[in-house]
Amino acid sequence: MSNKPIAALLASHMEGDDEQFLSIILQFAAQEARHGRTDEAAKLKELVQSARDRRRVSPPSGQTPIPMARPRGELQGLVDSSYPKVTLSSMVLSRDARERLMRVIRQQQSRAALRDHGHVPTTHMLLVGPPGTGKTMTAAAIAGELHLPLFTVRLEALFSRFLGETAAKLRLLFDQIAQVRGVYLLDEFDAIGSRRAATNDVGEIRRVLNSVLAFMEEPNSTDSLVIAATNHVEILDSALARRFDEVIEYALPDASAARTVIESRLGKFRLHARSWKKVSAAAEGLSQGELCRAADQVVRDAILAKADKVTGAGLENALKARQAVQRRFRSQSEL
């Protein structure tokens, strides 16, 4: 191979142009065939076809999202990016929540067809419910289903003591939403979405909220999904709540859902059927996150003890410990 095609290969690699890279390989394969080296040419063509097939069927987990994977300037401290692999099938959701989330995913997957008919897919979602019920995980699962990057906005970094700077940072964020397709998560959204008429409000918070309201009205040419999550829907401004296409409520799991969560987390460490009555009683009122932490604890204990199962008493005690922690936090918050 001469220096010229080698240089072209290096250039396409450095620029991240995979298709150009493969095209150069095919040109070299054609050259090999012209020189009678048909076996080598066939092998190269097979490798190129295999690479293209993998790109079509595989999620872009190895891709580098640009430009937001490495946010620059002021956005560097505002946004964290990732490519989640979790999907909705791994979550325990109510039937209504699952159906509504799948509808959003179908709309996003067929967004071109919707636009052909003058419609756009759902782009703004509000997830409400107690902590640990799966709101944050839902954002990751939607990103995983759509093979899109998840951009988690660090709301605490938005606020500035300088007048107008917070709104300017929001402007940068919403500009990126309009330019780079992805799933954008604004967790603990009540931090910026509190009611404008709140008695303890300050002028800067009102200005921030007004900016959010204005930005959410802007067209989103990338069809990026903006997902806001809050534990305190009661303090959200009503004008803001109306900007969301979907509002999905999450609740603490009932006995059946709690058992599903625990069984899924225990994996191969099965629990005897007779133990579930006491375990279910100990699990009542705990969130999915708390159930997972309790199950993880007894699984780790079983692994270190080289046991092939977990005991009902061990799991029950772990769940009661999580209950005690929750009661302690609740009592402190009421002081």
**Residues 32 and 168 placed together within one structural domain of the fold:** no
- 66 located within any domain: no
Give residue 304's domain range: 255-333
Per-residue tokens: 312: 């009902």
Say which CATH number the domain at 129 has.
3.40.50.300
Residue from 31, 22, 21 nearest 1 by CA = 31
HSE toward the beta carbon, residue 254, CA cutoff 13 A: 4
- 63 located within any domain: no
Looking at residue 8, its amino acid is: A
Query: In b/e form, how buried is each residue of 238-274, taking b as 16+ CB within 10 angstroms?
Result: eebeebbebbbebebbeeebbbebbeebbeebebeee
- 67 located within any domain: no
**Residues 176 and 96 placed together within one structural domain of the fold:** yes
pLDDT at 234: 72
Boundary-marking domain end, from 218, 249, 280 = 249
**Residues 242 and 293 placed together within one structural domain of the fold:** no
Boundary-marking domain end, from 234, 249, 264 = 249
- 128 located within any domain: yes
d(CA 120, CA 221): 9
**Residues 232 and 260 placed together within one structural domain of the fold:** no
Report the interhelical angle of 3-15 vs 18-34 (nearest 10°): 160
Residue from 265, 293, 295, 299 nearest 279 by CA = 295
**Residues 23 and 45 placed together within one structural domain of the fold:** yes
- 62 located within any domain: no
**Residues 176 and 103 placed together within one structural domain of the fold:** yes
- 154 located within any domain: yes
**Residues 44 and 91 placed together within one structural domain of the fold:** no
d(CA 150, CA 216): 19
**Residues 281 and 244 placed together within one structural domain of the fold:** no
**Residues 27 and 104 placed together within one structural domain of the fold:** no
Boundary-marking domain end, from 193, 216, 249 = 249
In the chain, the number of structural domains is 3
pLDDT at 63: 40
Query: In b/e form, how buried is each residue of 202-223, taking b as 16+ CB within 10 angstroms?
Result: eebbbebbebbbebbeeebeeb
Say which CATH number the domain at 306 has.
1.10.8.60
Length of the chain: 335
**Residues 92 and 210 placed together within one structural domain of the fold:** yes
**Residues 43 and 110 placed together within one structural domain of the fold:** no
Q: Splitting the chain (335 residues) into consecutive groups of 10 residues, what average pLDDT does each group show?
A: 62 64 74 78 78 54 43 67 88 90 94 89 91 91 93 76 69 84 87 54 64 78 89 73 86 90 89 90 90 92 90 92 80 54
pLDDT at 231: 83
- 64 located within any domain: no
**Residues 243 and 259 placed together within one structural domain of the fold:** no
- 65 located within any domain: no
